[in-house]
Amino acid sequence: MGIRRNKGWELRESEATPESAFVHRRSLVGAIAAGPILVSALGSATAGNGDPSAGLYPAKRNARYTLDRPLTDEKLATAYNNFYEFGSQKSIADEAQALKLRPWTIKIDGLVEKPMTLDMDDLLRRMPFEERLYRHRCVEAWSMAVPWSGFAMAAFVDFAKPLGSAKYVRMETFLDPTTAPGQKQVWYPWPYIEGLTIAEAGNELAFLVTGMYGKPVPKQNGAPLRLVLPWKYGFKSAKSIVRFSFTDKRPVSFWEALASNEYGFWANVNPAVPHPRWSQAEERVLGTNERRPTLKWNGYGEFVAHLYDGLQGERLFV
């Protein structure tokens, strides 16, 4: 896909505030679109979450994962979103209420012992359920700290029984342009795709999220099932997943398909490797005026650095 680079390349580091980073990211998309951004026709539906798993919460917190900063205010973390299916602005919460959470089926296919489709609540019953506190670092250089509930992706991979030939897991988000007006914007490579190596998916930090702040995860944050990978940039954390495919081919993600020079497969957090159009050295902590130095692997190196031994020739940090 032809990407026209804007003058963002020439931004001085001091000018690359997270907001401007975001504006430039959007202008990149705008350049691709060469057309008007659709305005949501969904109005301001604010119906309840409608999630029958609500009785499961709050989950017992796993004390192994601790934070170096206060939790982000729930109101902020649930109102400042990236969910391009519902628009490219941060305030998509109202639009996202159109998402219908049940029935919700999860397909498991590709290189597995037995492909299957199962109901979301059936899956939930089979998984070990817990709460974890994680930092989240968006590629746009803002960060938050969130209490997520859900289950280790390693447990899900065990359940899926991949064959020895499976090297990657590819995740796919729902596709329904009648619900998600952003999906009518045909210049995006819908549906939203993300991928991990099997080793990454089996790492203890990889977490499949169904809840947030002791409640079912709100629609705008990726209900009913999203991924959370705290050592990678936030765009790897695919929302509202409907399919997991085990494969021997490296998946090409939504953002990589759109701009492979700016968003790669690995996308591990590293302050020393700038995004082509802005610095990644610092992050703006949501809800504060604080700018913190960003940590390599987002501070989770003791858990994940070994996954990348021998891969130094790859673009691990973009």
Give residues in contact with ligand MTE (CB under 6 A): 81-85, 138, 173, 192, 221-222, 234-235, 237-240
Closest separation in Å from C-beta 179 to ligand MTE = 12
Closest separation in Å from C-beta 101 to ligand MTE = 15
Query: Residues 233, 137: contact at Cβ < 8 Å?
Result: yes
Please state the separation of Cα 9 from the chain's center in Å: 25
C-beta closer to ligand MTE: residue 111 or 174: 174
DSSP E strands, the chain: 105-110, 116-119, 130-137, 142-152, 168-173, 193-197, 207-212, 215-216, 226-228, 241-247, 282-285, 291-293
C-beta closer to ligand MTE: residue 111 or 297: 297
Query: Residues 311, 304: contact at Cβ < 8 Å?
Result: no
Query: Residue with CB nearest ligand MTE?
Result: 234
Closest separation in Å from C-beta 66 to ligand MTE = 20
Q: Give the tokens for residue 153.
A: 């992706």
Q: What are phi and psi of 75, to 5 degrees?
A: -60, -35
Residue with tokens 């998509």: 92
Query: Residues 260, 231: contact at Cβ < 8 Å?
Result: no
C-beta closer to ligand MTE: residue 240 or 294: 240
Closest separation in Å from C-beta 309 to ligand MTE = 27
C-beta closer to ligand MTE: residue 138 or 160: 138
The strand pairing partners of 195, in sequence order, are 170
C-beta closer to ligand MTE: residue 111 or 205: 205
CA pair distance 46, 214, nearest whole angstrom: 20
Q: Give the tokens for residue 60.
A: 């017992």
Q: What are phi and psi of 271, to 5 degrees?
A: -65, -20
Closest separation in Å from C-beta 212 to ligand MTE = 8
Q: Write the CB contacts of 193 (distance below 8 Å, at least 6 apart in sequence).
A: 170, 171, 172, 173, 238, 251, 252, 253, 254, 257
C-beta closer to ligand MTE: residue 8 or 25: 25
Closest separation in Å from C-beta 233 to ligand MTE = 7
C-beta closer to ligand MTE: residue 57 or 255: 255
Specify the length of the chain in residues: 318
Closest separation in Å from C-beta 163 to ligand MTE = 27
